C-alpha cells in the first residue's frame, strides 16, 4: 500500500542534504570536539559550522546558540535556569512548557495562565494585565503545534519582561524577532531527532541545571551530539522556499474537506496561522476512530500533539478555544510538508469524506443536516 504522510508537525523526514552531511560527519569526523589534537579540532570545526548555520536561520549570533537534545531540554533549561518568581504563560502551551510551569509551581513559583481567543491567539493586553513587580518571565509559544496559530511574540517582547518562546513550529515559517530565549528542535525542519537548540541572547543569564563539564561555553555539559548538530545545521540552510507551496496545499485540503464533509469546521481558522497546518472538527465522529481508519487507508494524520498521544483526556489546546470535550475529541490535525503534492491532498480529501460518512452511520449521537 502506498502511504501518504500528513503529520509533519509531529516530525519530518530527514532531508537528503542533512543525511549526507551526517553520514560524512559520522564517517570522517569521529573526534571529540573538546580534544585539542587535529582530529578533535576537525570535529570542532564541523560543530561550529553547524552553529553558524543554525544561528543564521534563527537570526542570532553563533555564540547565542546552545545545542541541546531537543526543544524539551531547551525549554527546561530556560524556565528552570531563570529561577523565576512569577511566570506568565498561555493555556495552549506544549507540555514541554506547560509541565515545566506546573513543576515550577510545585517548587514555589507563581504561574499565571492567560487564555486565548476563539481564534487561538493570546491577547497581549491579557498578558499586560497579568504583569506583577515580581514577574521574571513570559513564556508563550511562537506557533501552536495543534492549530498553527501565530502568537504575538513581537508585542509581548515590548512589555519590559524577558520573553521565552517555544519556537519549534515557527522555524522556516515565520520571521524570528530577537527575544531573550527561544527553543528549537531539528526534527521539525527535516533534520534528525535528538538535537535542538536554546538561543539565548547576550545579557541573559541562566543558572546551571546540569553539571559535569564546560561544554557549550559552560552552559550545557556533556560531549555534543556532533552528527546531530551537523544535520541540524544542514537542515537549517534549506528553510523558507517551500512555505508558500505548502500553504496552497493546506488551503486545498481544508477547502476540499469542508466542501465534501457536512458539519466539518476549521478550529481557529480565523486566526493568523502558518501555512502548513489545519485542525478540523468533524461533529459526530470520534477523532481516534477517524485517525485509525485513515491510517488503514494509508494516510498518517494526528489527533493532537505526538507527545500527548495515548492520553484519555481531550486536547487542552482545543478545550482552551471553548470547545466541548466531545468537539475536541472529534478533531483531527493535518500538517502538510515537502513530501506532499496536490494529488495526495485530493486523495486524502476523498478518504476523509468516505471515512466520515461511514463513522457517522455507526455513531449513536450524530444527527445529520
Tell whether the model's pLDDT for residue 356 goes beyond 60.
Answer: yes
**What number is the average pLDDT over the span 255-260?**
98
pLDDT of amino acid 221: 80
In whole angstroms, give the CA distance from residue 192 to residue 185: 9
Instruction: Quickly list H helices, 264-341.
Output: 287-296, 316-320, 325-329
Contact assessment for residue 344 and residue 3, using Cβ atoms and an 8 Å cutoff: no
**What number is the average pLDDT over the span 35-42?**
94
In whole angstroms, give the CA distance from residue 298 to residue 177: 39
Model pTM score: 0.94
In whole angstroms, give the CA distance from residue 282 to residue 304: 14
pLDDT of amino acid 252: 98
- Residue 166 has φ and ψ, to the nearest 5°, of -70, 105
Strands 196-200 and 65-68, how do they pair? antiparallel
In whole angstroms, give the CA distance from residue 263 to residue 281: 8
What mean pLDDT, rounded, does the chain reach?
Answer: 94
Annotated catalytic residue: which of 19, 42, 56, 307? 307
Q: State how far the alpha carbon of 178 is from the alpha carbons of 88, 99, 174, 202, 207, in Å.
A: 19, 25, 13, 11, 21
Give the cell for residue 146.
Answer: 495543534
Task: Confirm whether 25 is a catalytic residue.
Answer: no
Give the cell for residue 181.
Answer: 530565549
Q: What is the pLDDT of residues 132-185, one digit of tens each?
A: 999 999 999 999 999 999 999 999 999 999 999 999 999 999 998 999 999 999
Contact assessment for residue 66 and residue 196, using Cβ atoms and an 8 Å cutoff: no
Q: State how far the alpha carbon of 96 is from the alpha carbons of 242, 261, 281, in Å.
A: 27, 34, 25
Contacts of 356 (CB under 8 A, 6+ apart): 261, 264, 282, 285, 290
In the chain, the domains with their CATH numbers are 4-12+241-361 (3.90.1150.10), 16-236 (3.40.640.10)
Partnered with residue 5 across adjacent β-strands are 300
pLDDT of amino acid 369: 54
Using the CB atoms, write b or e for 198-216: b if 16+ within 10 Å: bbbeeebebeeeeeeeebb
Q: What is the pLDDT of residues 278-299, one digit of tens each?
A: 999 999 999 999 999 999 999 9
Amino acid at each position: 500500500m502506498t502511504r501518504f504522510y500528513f503529520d509533519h508537525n509531529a516530525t519530518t523526514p530527514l532531508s537528503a542534504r542533512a543525511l549526507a552531511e551526517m553520514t560524512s560527519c559520522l564517517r570522517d569526523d569521529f573526534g571529540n570536539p573538546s580534544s585539542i589534537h587535529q582530529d578533535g579540532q576537525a570535529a570542532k570545526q564541523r560543530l561550529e559550522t553547524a552553529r553558524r548555520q543554525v544561528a543564521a536561520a534563527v537570526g542570532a549570533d553563533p555564540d547565542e546558540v546552545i545545542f541541546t537534545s531537543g526543544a524539551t531540554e531547551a525549554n527546561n533549561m530556560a524556565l528552570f535556569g531563570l529561577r523565576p518568581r512569577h511566570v506568565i504563560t498561555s493555556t495552549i502551551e506544549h507540555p514541554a512548557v506547560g509541565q515545566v510551569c506546573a513543576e515550577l509551581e510545585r517548587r514555589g513559583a507563581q504561574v499565571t495562565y492567560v487564555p486565548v481567543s476563539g481564534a487561538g491567539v493570546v491577547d497581549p493586553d491579557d498578558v499586560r494585565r497579568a504583569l506583577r513587580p515580581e514577574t521574571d518571565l513570559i513564556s508563550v509559544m511562537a506557533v501552536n503545534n495543534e492549530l498553527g496559530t501565530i502568537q504575538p511574540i513581537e508585542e509581548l517582547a515590548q512589555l519590559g519582561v524577558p520573553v521565552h518562546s517555544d519556537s519549534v513550529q515557527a522555524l522556516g515559517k515565520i520571521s524570528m524577532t530577537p527575544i531573550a530565549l527561544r527553543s528549537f528542535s531539528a526534527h521539525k525542519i527535516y533534520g534528525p531527532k535528538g538535537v535542538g537548540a536554546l538561543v539565548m541572547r547576550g545579557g541573559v543569564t541562566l543558572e546551571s541545571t546540569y553539571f559535569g563539564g564546560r561544554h557549550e561555553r559552560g552552559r550545557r555539559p556533556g560531549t555534543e551530539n556532533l552528527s546531530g548538530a551537523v544535520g541540524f545545521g544542514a537542515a537549517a540552510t534549506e528553510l523558507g522556499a517551500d512555505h508558500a507551496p505548502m500553504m496552497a496545499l493546506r488551503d486545498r485540503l481544508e477547502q476540499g474537506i469542508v466542501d465534501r464533509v457536512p458539519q466539518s469546521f476549521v478550529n481557529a481558522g480565523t486566526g493568523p496561522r502558518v501555512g502548513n497546518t489545519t485542525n478540523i472538527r468533524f461533529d459526530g465522529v470520534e477523532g481516534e476512530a477517524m485517525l485509525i481508519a485513515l491510517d488503514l487507508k494509508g494516510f498518517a494524520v494526528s489527533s493532537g500533539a505526538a507527545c500527548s498521544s495515548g492520553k484519555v483526556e481531550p486536547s487542552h489546546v482545543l478545550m482552551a478555544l471553548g470547545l466541548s470535550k466531545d468537539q475536541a475529541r472529534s478533531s483531527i490535525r493535518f500538517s502538510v510538508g515537502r513530501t506532499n503534492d496536490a494529488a495526495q491532498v485530493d486523495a486524502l480529501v476523498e478518504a476523509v469524506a468516505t471515512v466520515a460518512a461511514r463513522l457517522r452511520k455507526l455513531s449513536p449521537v450524530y444527527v445529520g443536516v
